[in-house]
Each structure stands twice: as C-alpha cells, then as structure tokens.
C-alpha cells in the first residue's frame, strides 16, 4: 500500500493593485449630495401646497394657521390628559375602527372643515352687507394685544405668522361669521314651546340646600381611619353648634364662616330625590322642608350637618335640559342652512395638501 501523501499546491491569486479614487469624483459626489439636500429643504419651504380653494381663490397653510391651531391645541390638551391618566396617546387612538382613522386624522379633518366654514360664511356675510362694528374692533384689538404681548411666545408668533395684522384679520372674519350665524338662527322657525312640552318637570325635580358640615372622622399617621370617642363626637357637635345662632339669622351662609375656620365647611348642594347620599331618615326630613327652613344639628355617618332649604323646587336642571334641546334644534336647522350656502360655492379640498398636515406638529411649538 502506498502511504505517501499527495500535496496539492494552490496558486495564490495575483494581488490586484487598488487604484485610488480620483479626489475630483469625491468632490463632485459630495457637491451633488449637498445640492440634493438643499433642494429638498427649499422644496419643502418654498413649495406651498394648496389646502383648498373657494371660487378660484387659493388657501395655503399660512392662511389657515389660526383655525388649525385652535383645533390642534384642543386635541393636544386631550393628549396630555390621556397621557397622564392612561399612559397612552390620544392622537393615535382609533377614531373609526372600520376605516382605521385616528384622532390625529379626525383633528386634521375638523381643522379643515372649521377653516372652510368660516371662510365661506364670511364671504356670504359680506355679500349680505355685514361689516365689523366698532365694539367688535375694540374687543379684537384687546384680544390680539393680549395674545401677542402676553400669551404667545416669540417662537409661536414666528412659526405660525401670528402677526397682529394676521390675527386681526382672522378674528374680524370670525366675529362677523358668529354674528351672521346668530342672525340666521334668530330667523329660523323653531317652536320652543313644543320642545319644552316634551319634558316632564318631575323628571328633573331638584332640591337646592345650603349646608354647614363638620366631618366626624380622623386617621392615624398611616391614613387608617380611627373610631371617635363619644367625647370627641360631642366636641365636634359643639363646634358646629357654635354657628347655629348665626345660621338662623344669616341670609348668605357662604359668608358666615370666618376665613380661619378649617373644620366646619359650607356647601351649596343640588340633588334629585333619587340621587341623595343622605340616610333615608335625613332625606325624608329634607324633602319635607319649606324654603327657608333650617334643620337642627343632624348626625350622619360621615359627620354633623346644619341644613337650610334654599329651593325645594329648583328648575335649574329642567331649564338646562330644555335649553340644550333648543340649542340642538337650532344647530341642526342652521347646519341645513349652511349646507345650502356651502353648495352655492365652488370649493375644492386638496388631499395632498391636507395629508401633509401632521396634527400635533403643525402649529404647536415648544
């Protein structure tokens, strides 16, 4: 057997000499990249995307920054609130699960519709002969001075073009439109009595009382509730009783307690019979009181009360419900009027311009 080993020799490939890249090529490439970068920046800055047009007049972002800022600020507040409460972003929450739109999309659409609303109705009001009044001019001037001199930062003003001239123009349009809307609503045929007839007062029967209250509770250093002794309860009752004579003669209980009083508290409460948190015995006593009646000192599970019946047939909730229903009907009728007005104008919303608006970062600055 041949035990000799065969040795295989590999040929080393010839090393190719690397040729250095001509410095001119590096220079030309670098210049080209810089030119492209500058061009893209200039394109973003100089190319103005249309947001919408009305009867051939173009509107760009710079024309609509205030309308957008109002909506954007409202949503930013909600984003901050949700972040603190739930640790999540309101902007990215689903506005419509079916379409996949977010609250950021909803804010953008709301801002554009708000701007379109004011610009169209301003044109309509001017056609009908509306003009800014002297009182409105003064109010607007004061408002603009406050915003520019005290509330808006220099960065905010520069970023959004919030000059006095721009803000005065926008606020003047909004004032005229708001007055124009109010006049249209006043001219609408809305049967308020018919709306009122749909509400039953007893469903909103509310009781209004004044109370002087001292809590009957105490806790240790760790926050654990402790049981009061009979002597401690008697002392609390006596302290509340010190104000009883004054309560009998005082017309305004909100002014009855001295500023340094820390234990006895004054409250004005309104409640329905079904929503009372008092014990059944105390609630029955309250519901039987006439206006102006004042109770003796009452012991409840949480402390001691002196109660005065202010109004045993308060209509606040009843009136509020009716007024809300009337406002809803007014807004519904006005929306119908606005839709007719809007359709009389040749307007177009440009999707490319609208999509470029990333709400939360359009008008808001640090």
Do residue 333 and residue 225 come from a single domain? no
Do residue 149 and residue 242 come from a single domain? no
pTM of the model: 0.73
Mean pLDDT of 284-292: 96
Q: pLDDT of 317-344, one tens digit each?
A: 999 999 999 999 999 999 999 999 999 9
Q: pLDDT of 31-78, one tens digit each?
A: 666 555 554 544 444 457 899 999 999 999 999 999 999 999 999 999
- In three-state secondary structure terms, 92 is coil
Number of C-alpha atoms within 13 angstroms, CB side, residue 272? 9
Closest CA to 307 of 338, 282, 337: 282
Asked, for residue 25, whether it belongs to a domain, the answer is no
- Give the pLDDT score at 259: 93
Q: 278: buried, middle or exposed (CB in 10 Å: 19+, 13-18, 0-12)?
A: buried
Do residue 180 and residue 60 come from a single domain? yes
CB atoms < 10 A from the CB of 122, how many?
20
Q: Which long-range contacts (CB under 8 A, 24 or more apart) does 167-170 make?
A: 167/66, 168/140, 168/141, 168/144, 170/66, 170/67
Asked, for residue 259, whether it belongs to a domain, the answer is yes
Q: How many domains does the chain have?
A: 2
- Give the pLDDT score at 122: 98
Phi-psi region of 337 (alpha: psi -120 to 50; beta: other; left: phi over 0): alpha
Do residue 130 and residue 234 come from a single domain? no
Q: pLDDT of 135-182, one tens digit each?
A: 999 999 999 999 999 999 999 999 999 999 999 999 999 999 999 999
Do residue 107 and residue 223 come from a single domain? no
Q: pLDDT of 85-125, one tens digit each?
A: 999 999 999 999 888 899 999 999 999 999 999 999 999 99
Asked, for residue 302, whether it belongs to a domain, the answer is yes
CB atoms < 10 A from the CB of 363, how many?
25
- Give the pLDDT score at 215: 93
Do residue 343 and residue 304 come from a single domain? no
Asked, for residue 27, whether it belongs to a domain, the answer is no
Do residue 307 and residue 213 come from a single domain? yes
- Give the pLDDT score at 222: 79
Asked, for residue 266, whether it belongs to a domain, the answer is yes
- Give the pLDDT score at 57: 97
Residue 293: domain span? 201-314
Q: What share of the chain in percent tops pLDDT 70?
A: 87
CATH number for the domain harbouring residue 259: 3.10.50.40
Residue 132 clears pLDDT 70, i.e. is over it: yes
Do residue 214 and residue 151 come from a single domain? no
């Amino acid at each position: 057997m041949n035990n000799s080993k065969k040795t295989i020799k590999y040929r080393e490939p010839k090393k190719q000499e690397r040729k250095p890249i001509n410095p001119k090529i590096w220079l030309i490439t670098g210049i080209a990249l810089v030119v492209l970068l500058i061009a893209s920046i200039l394109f973003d800055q100089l190319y103005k995307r249309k947001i919408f047009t009305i009867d051939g007049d173009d509107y760009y972002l710079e024309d609509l920054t205030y309308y957008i800022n109002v909506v954007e600020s409202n949503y930013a507040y909600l984003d901050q609130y949700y972040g603190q409460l739930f640790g999540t972003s309101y902007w990215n929450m689903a506005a419509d699960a079916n379409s996949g739109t977010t609250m950021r999309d909803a804010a953008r659409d709301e801002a554009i519709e708000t701007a379109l609303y004011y610009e169209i109705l301003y044109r309509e009001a001017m056609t009908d002969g509306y003009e800014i009044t002297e009182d409105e001019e003064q109010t607007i001037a004061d408002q603009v001075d406050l915003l520019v001199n005290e509330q808006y930062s220099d960065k905010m003003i520069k970023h959004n073009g919030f000059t006095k001239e721009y803000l005065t123009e926008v606020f003047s349009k909004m004032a005229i439109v708001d007055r124009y809307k109010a006049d249209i609503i006043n001219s609408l045929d809305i049967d308020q009595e018919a709306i009122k007839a749909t509400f039953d007062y007893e469903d909103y029967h509310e009781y209004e009382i004044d109370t002087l209250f001292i809590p009957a509770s105490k806790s240790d250093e760790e926050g654990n509730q402790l049981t009061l002794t009979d002597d401690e309860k008697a002392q609390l009752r006596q302290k509340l009783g010190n104000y009883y004579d004054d309560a009998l003669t005082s017309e305004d209980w909100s002014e009855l307690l001295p500023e340094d009083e820390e234990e006895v508290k004054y409250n004005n409460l309104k409640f329905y019979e079904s929503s009372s948190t008092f014990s059944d015995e105390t609630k029955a006593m309250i519901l039987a009181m006439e206006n102006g009646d004042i109770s003796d000192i009452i012991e409840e599970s949480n402390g001691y009360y002196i109660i005065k019946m202010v109004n045993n047939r308060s209509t606040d909730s009843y009136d509020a419900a009716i007024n809300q229903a009337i406002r809803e009907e007014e807004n519904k009728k006005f929306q119908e009027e606005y839709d007719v007005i809007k359709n009389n104008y040749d307007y177009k919303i440009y999707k490319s311009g609208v999509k470029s608006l990333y709400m939360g970062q359009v008008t808001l600055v640090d």
